[in-house]
Structure 1
Amino acid sequence: MLNRAVLVGRLTKDPEFRTTPSGVDVSTFTLAVNRNFKSKDGEQQADFINCVVFRKQAENVKNFLSKGRLAGVDGRMQSRSYENKEGQRVYVTEVVCDSVQFLEPKNNSQSNNQPKQQGQAQNNPFDNSDDEFSDLPF
C-alpha cells in the first residue's frame, strides 16, 4: 500500500497554532494548489488542501509561513471524524505533513506588485511575479 502526498501551493491564510493537552505543538493551514488546466472561461482552478504538522515543524510553520507564501509539503493523506458542538458528525480529510519546505525567503513577504528596490538582483529565482500561482484571489 502507498499513501503519499507531495504538494506545492500558497497558504490561503495564516497558519493556526495550538498545543495539545499532552504538550504537542500543532499547526494547521490550507494550501491552494493550482490545477494543470483552466476552466472554459480561462479562470485558473485550484484545490484547497487542509494540512496539519506537529512538533518542531509546527513551530517553524507558525514562525515562517503566512498567508500567500509558497510552501511545499510531503506527507500522507488521513481521514478522521469528530462530533461538533451541535452533535453532528464532521468528516475531515487532510495531509499529515512529515516535512514542510519554505519555498520563498522570509524577506519576500512584500507584495509582488511593489517596485523592486535599487540594487536588488533582477534574476531572483524566488521572484514569482509571473508564476502560475500569482493570480490566486488572496
Structure 2
Amino acid sequence: MNKCIFMGRLTRDPEIRYTKSETPVMVINYTLAVDRKHKRGDEPSADFIDFVAYGSAADFAEKYLYKGTKILVTARCQKRSYTNKEGRKVTVTEFIIEDQEFAESKREQEKTEEAQTDKDGYMYIPEGADDSGLPFN
C-alpha cells in the first residue's frame, strides 16, 4: 500500500497551472510545513513537503486553500523521470494528493490569523517585547 498522511500549514498560496495537452488539466502545487514530533539539536522543527494535486483535488485547493491554512492531506508517493531542456535526465519524487481536508475550524483559523497580524496586515509585536531579533534594528 502506498499511502502517506500529513498535517500542516500551507507555506504560500497554491500555484495553479495547466497541462499543455489537447484538453488542459488543472495542476496545483503547494508546500506544507509539517511539524516534527521531536526536535534534535540544531535540526529544524518542521519539514517542508511539496504536494501536487490534479482533478477534483486541484479544484478544492484552488477554491479553498491559501497561505496559513491548516490541512490534513492523504497522498501517495510517486517517482517520475523526464529530460530537462539541457538534455539531462531528472528524477523527481512527488506526493500526489488523493484527499485533503481542513484540520481546524474557520473560527480557529481566524484566531490564528488575528494573532499573527494587525488590521494593517503587519505582524503584531506586544508592548515591551524584546526587539533584538528584528531585522531593522
Q: CA deviation at 1:114?
A: 4.6
1:87–1:96 CA distance, 2 compared to 1 (3 A): same
User: Post-superposition shift, 1:44?
Assistant: 4.7
Aligned to 2:14: 15
Residues 93-126 of structure 1 deviation map (CA, whole Å, 9 limit, x = unaligned): 11111111122428727343357xxxxxxxxxxx
Question: Is 1:31 aligned with 2:32?
Answer: yes
Instruction: Compare CA radii of gyration and give the structure with the larger one.
Output: 2
**Larger proportion of helix:** 2
Is contact 1:65-1:102 (8 Å) kept? no
1:23 shift after superposition: 2.6
| Aligned residue number for residue 136 of structure 1 | none
- For residues 59 and 115 of structure 2, the distance between their equivalents in structure 1, rounded to whole angstroms, comes to 26
Is the strand fraction higher in 1 or 2?
Answer: 1
Alignment of 1:89-104 (within 5 A): 89-104=89-104
AA in 1 matched with 2:91: Y
Name the SS of the counterpart of 1:73 in structure 2. Answer: strand
TM-score by length of 1: 0.69
What residue number does 1:110 align with?
113
Which residue of structure 2 lines up, in the alignment, with residue 70 of structure 1? 70
In structure 2, distance between residues paired with 1:11 and 1:49:
10
The CA distance in 1 between the partners of 2:12 and 2:89, in whole Å, is: 25
Partners of 1:34 and 1:44 within 8 A in 2? no
1:66 aligned counterpart, secondary structure: coil
Q: Which runs of 4+ in 1 moved over 3 A?
A: none
Q: Give the share of equivalent positions with the same residue, in percent.
A: 40
Structure 2 unmatched ranges of 5 or more = 119-137
CA separation in 2, counterparts of 1:24 and 1:98? 16
Give the stretch that moved more between structures: 76-85 or 100-109.
100-109
Task: Give the 3-state SS of the residue equivalent to 1:38 in structure 2.
Answer: coil
Gaps of 5+ in 1: 116-138
TM-score, length-scaled by structure 2:
0.70
